[in-house]
Every structure is written in structure tokens, then in C-alpha cells.
Structure 1
Amino acid sequence: MARENTQDRVALVTGASSGFGRVTAATLMTRGFRVFGTSRRVVDHPQGIEMLELDVDSDDSVRDCIAELLGRAGRLDVLVNNAGRAMVGACEETSAEEARALFETNVFGVMRTVSAVLPTMRTQRRGTIVNIGSLSGFVGVPFHGVYAASKHALAGYTEALRFEVRPYGIGVCLVEPAAHRTGIQMARPHGPLPHYDSGRETVEAIIRKQIETGSSPQRVADVIAAAATSAAPRFRYRVGGKATFAAWARRLLPVATFETVVRREFRLPGRAET
């Protein structure tokens, strides 16, 4: 059930300079929202979105951004936590420092932003928080291990948050897309190990092709907008055929069979012969 009136409602979309965030900001504006978008450096948005500077890795930047928004708009009804980073690399070759940097953005950045907006939403007794996860948030995609770990952590955080803030009229949900045409960049570990070159390169090529040939990000933006305007958003929204299939396969297939499906999807060998 959608809320009838979005007039004068205010939305904040992090990471709005490209990808899902850019399209989502424009989509929410067409739904009647006053939309603020963020990027690390302020850029113009072709749709007329009000852009703010925000580095979700910084406590000060988050605090200043939310203060600026509230100073201009006086309220906040929807937060879309879209800002994030991706990485492709084997678990062993990814350093703890690189893993921390990824978690800083994908997990702690979300936590900072949520904590900054909750006092306002609690006072209003209404609001919706939409966190952008990934298919990798419920499947440990090979050579996406640290990224998958960050999205698994985000899923657990989102579920707990949903219980905690519901009494204050705040809805929380998680949108988990498969690959879409976003052009997202994937960093590599600084210390790659030759043992993993073949598998890493194979998986990266497959994922890049899935991104290049995937559906339009508008599909995800429409789901985000539907969740943002729902009076009772669901916990999870999976977007894309692969995300839907993976969710059902994980639930219904024996573990060994599911692992075989994943290996075949990414053209990875099974156990090495001795």
C-alpha cells in the first residue's frame, strides 16, 4: 500500500552522482519528493537534484551533510543508503587494511548516516530507510568474498534496525539487486597472489559482462521508489532474475547442489585431483 501524498516529502540519496543512486534520485523527484543527493565532491545533477557533499567514511562529513539538509528542508522522510564500493579478489590476497576500507564505506558508512538521521525521524514519528545491498549479501560469491562479507553484514544490521525503530513509525528495508548496467568500478587487491590469477580473472570477466549486459538501473530505482513510498515496506526486495533464482535455489537445493550451481555459474573447478 503506497502513501497517497508525497508532496513536500524530502528524500536523501547517498552516492547519487552515478549508478543506482543517480537514477533513484531522479525517480523519487518524479514521485513528488524534494530530493537531495550526495557525492564525495559536489557535482551538478542533470535532473535538478540538490547535491550535497558527503563522505560516508567521515563522522564530521556525515554530521555536516545532515545538518545542511535539515537547515534547508527542515525534515527528512526517506533515506536511501546507496553509496558503496566493490572489490574483486580472493579472500587470501585481500589485506585486512583493504577489507577495513571496504567495510568503512559499505557498513560503517551506512551506520553513520542512519544514526545521524534517526533523531529527526523519531521526532517526526515517521520515515523510511532503504539500504542497498546485493545478491552477494546472501550468496558468498567467489572472488567477491570481502565485498560479500560487507553486504552480509549490512543485511544483518538492516534486519536488527528494522525491529528497533518500528515502534517510532520508521520503516526499514533492504534492496538486493543482481548485476545491472551501472558501470560500477571494482577495485583489486594491492597484493594479488598468482595462485588465484585464473579464477579471479575468470570471475571478474563474468561479472563485468553481467553488468554490461544487465537490465537498466531504472528497474532497481523503481523498486527503491516503491519501497520508499510504501506504508509497510517488506524487509527484502530482490531485483533481477539471478537474485530471485539464487534466493530460491539457496533455500530449496541441498548445499552440495547449490555449490555446484555457483561453480558452474563462475566456471570454477571443483576439488583438485591429488
Structure 2
Amino acid sequence: MKTVLITGTSKGIGHETALAFGRAGYKVFATMRNPDKASDFKQKIKSESLDISILKMDVDSDASVKQCMDTIIQKHGSVDVLVNNAGIERHGSIEELTMKDFKDVMETNYFGVLRCTKAFLPLMRKNQKGCIVNLASVSGHISSGPLGAYAASKFALEAFSEALAGEVKPFNIRVAIVEPGIINTQMANDISVDEKSIYPHSKRLAGLFSASLQTPTPPTLVAEKILEIAESNSWKLRHPVGPDAEPFIAWRASMTDEQWVDWNATNDDDWYEAVQNTFGLDAR
């Protein structure tokens, strides 16, 4: 039986990914910071008779990651697939976000992935097989206010993953970067207007997310893609997911850096009109 460890499984994409792998016959180690709050998840596992073990792990902590890894290795010997999904979001202008906000986002979204990868990589290398799936984002290609802190962490994750892929391929370890667009998760729904901000970008982005979520893309779509990657023999590195992912990335790529800066710096009317004309979304 193949084994998979998934981080951040208490809700959203991680939760659905754990269920997808469990239903596909994997032994799943579903990790989260607070397993005591997973009563509904535990009931679903029981009702479907899935081979899913919920384990406590905080990706921000070296000790927590090591303890969880040691428990798994002692009982089961190896992990075939590692899905680094755990992530957090803080939105606000560069000026108005605190240094703690920046550090918290980077600690979980970048160092957390690095910490888990480094913990399990030696075993995969020894076994000469493995698959590592890192959850990045369209924001790993596109950076604009008020998601500067979040985008910085995802840009870093993209760079780290690309380097890792070249290092571990000779050991038959596949690395994949999954890049969701706007997905109907709590994180996406929490993008809100900062009424106190002196910058207009908070209101604009909240409107864009709200308009997109009127026709929501479920997290199950991302979970299915992650399972597909694990089940395949593909060495494809980047996997945009969702109907808006590739269009968003292509849209940014069609502009020069200066055009992108100018578009973000434009007045509200022109910004909203551009979104309406390009994506058919009324973000007002």
C-alpha cells in the first residue's frame, strides 16, 4: 500500500486531498496543528472506512516535524508521497502590514515546506523513489498589493521547488508545483476590505475575489490534480489548477514589468474596467 503525508488537512484543499488519497486506497497521514478540532473529519473517515491517520504536526516547528516523522517511520517505514499544503495568508499593503505578518507567512508557506521536505527527503533518496508536491499559487507568478507578503512566500516556494526538482531527479524523486487560482476556501473568502488602509488595493482585490467566488471553484478540483500527479509518472514541474489560473498567469506574462506596475498604480475606474474587459468580472 502506498503512503502519503499531507500537511494542513484541517480544512480546504488539504482536507479534500486527504480524502481523495484515502478513497484511492492510500495509507494517509493527515497532519494538522490541532487534531482535537477534527471531530467531523474523524467521523467522515469512520463512515467511509478510510485508512487515514490524523497526526499532530506544526510545520513551523523543527521538533514537531521531527516527532511526527519519527512516529510514521517507526510504524510504517516510509512515505511515498509528500504533499506540502499547509499555508497561511496575510493581506495588506507593504507599509501597513507588520514585520510579524511577513515573518509568519514566510515561516509557514516557505520554511514550513522546506522543513518537511528536508525531514523526509533523505529516506526518499535512500529508497530511490518518491514524489513531492508543493502547493504554491498563481501568486507565485503574480505579485500585487495587497498580497505582497503572500506572493513573496509563494515566489520563494517556486524557486526552491525548481532547484529541488533538478537536484533529486537523479534519485528518481519527482517534484511538482501546484498553482491554484481563486479556489472556494476559507482563505479565499477571508480576503476582505481594510477600511483603514490608505491604499486602494485592498478594496480592489476583495472585489475581485468576491466576483470570482460567485462561480466558485471547489477545492476538490485541486485535490484531484494532486492525486493525479502522484498516480502518474509525469515529470512535469508546474501545474496551474482552476479555470482562472492559466489566464491569470498568461495575463501577467503579456505585460512588461513597467506595464504591470502602471496597471496596479492606475485609478480605480481604469482598474475595474480592465478587470471587467479581461475576465468578465465586475469587481466593484
Band the TM-score falls in, shorter-chain normalisation: 0.7 to 0.9
Supply the distance in 2 between the matched residues of 1:147 and 1:112 (Cα, whole angstroms): 18
- The 5 A counterparts of 1:39-78 are 39-42=32-35, 43-44=38-39, 45=41, 46-47=44-45, 48=50, 49-78=52-81
Supply the distance in 2 between the matched residues of 1:212 and 1:262 (Cα, whole angstroms): 23
CA contact (8 A) 2:140 2:154 kept: yes
1:21 to 6, 14, 19: 14
Q: CA deviation at 1:99?
A: 0.4
Q: CA deviation at 1:87?
A: 1.4
Aligned length: 260
Which residue identity lines up with residue 62 of structure 2 in the other structure?
D
CA contact (8 A) 1:180 1:212 kept: no
Match in the other structure for 1:93: 96
Match in the other structure for 1:3: none
Match in the other structure for 1:114: 117
Q: CA deviation at 1:199?
A: 3.0
CA contact (8 A) 1:133 1:151 kept: yes
TM-score, scaled to structure 2:
0.83
CA contact (8 A) 1:16 1:37 kept: yes
Name the CA shift for 1:73/1:192 in 2 (closer, same or farther; >3 Å). Answer: farther
Percent same amino acid at aligned positions? 34
Q: CA deviation at 1:12?
A: 0.6
Q: What secondary structure sits across from 2:186 in the alignment?
A: coil
Match in the other structure for 1:207: 209
Q: CA deviation at 1:70?
A: 1.4
Supply the distance in 1 between the matched residues of 2:178 and 2:232 (Cα, whole angstroms): 14
Supply the distance in 1 between the matched residues of 2:119 and 2:253 (Cα, whole angstroms): 36
Matched, 1:12 2:15: no
Supply the distance in 2 between the matched residues of 1:231 and 1:91 (Cα, whole angstroms): 41
Q: CA deviation at 1:28?
A: 1.1
Which residue identity lines up with residue 129 of structure 2 in the other structure?
R
Which residue identity lines up with residue 11 of structure 2 in the other structure?
S
Name the CA shift for 1:63/1:99 in 2 (closer, same or farther; >3 Å). Answer: same
CA contact (8 A) 1:199 1:268 kept: no
Q: CA deviation at 1:215?
A: 1.0
Match in the other structure for 1:244: 246
Name the CA shift for 1:216/1:192 in 2 (closer, same or farther; >3 Å). Answer: closer
CA contact (8 A) 1:10 1:34 kept: yes
Matched, 1:143 2:136: no
CA contact (8 A) 1:158 1:174 kept: yes
CA contact (8 A) 2:91 2:97 kept: no
| Structure 2 gap segments, 5+ residues each | 273-284
Name the CA shift for 1:122/1:268 in 2 (closer, same or farther; >3 Å). Answer: farther
Q: What secondary structure sits across from 1:139 in the alignment?
A: coil
Q: CA deviation at 1:241?
A: 2.3
Name the CA shift for 1:209/1:52 in 2 (closer, same or farther; >3 Å). Answer: farther
Match in the other structure for 1:4: none
Q: Which moved more, 1:34-43 or 1:240-249?
A: 240-249
Match in the other structure for 1:124: 127
CA contact (8 A) 1:139 1:148 kept: yes
| Structure 1 gap segments, 5+ residues each | 1-7
CA contact (8 A) 2:96 2:197 kept: no
Match in the other structure for 1:231: 233
Matched, 1:33 2:26: yes
Supply the distance in 2 between the matched residues of 1:251 and 1:195 (Cα, whole angstroms): 29
Q: CA deviation at 1:34?
A: 0.7
CA contact (8 A) 2:91 2:147 kept: yes
Name the CA shift for 1:229/1:151 in 2 (closer, same or farther; >3 Å). Answer: same
Supply the distance in 1 between the matched residues of 2:89 and 2:169 (Cα, whole angstroms): 30
Supply the distance in 1 between the matched residues of 2:271 and 2:191 (Cα, whole angstroms): 24
Which residue identity lines up with residue 14 of structure 1 in the other structure?
T
Matched, 1:102 2:113: no
Supply the distance in 1 between the matched residues of 2:225 and 2:165 (Cα, whole angstroms): 18
Q: Which moved more, 1:248-257 or 1:122-131?
A: 248-257
Which residue identity lines up with residue 183 of structure 2 in the other structure?
H
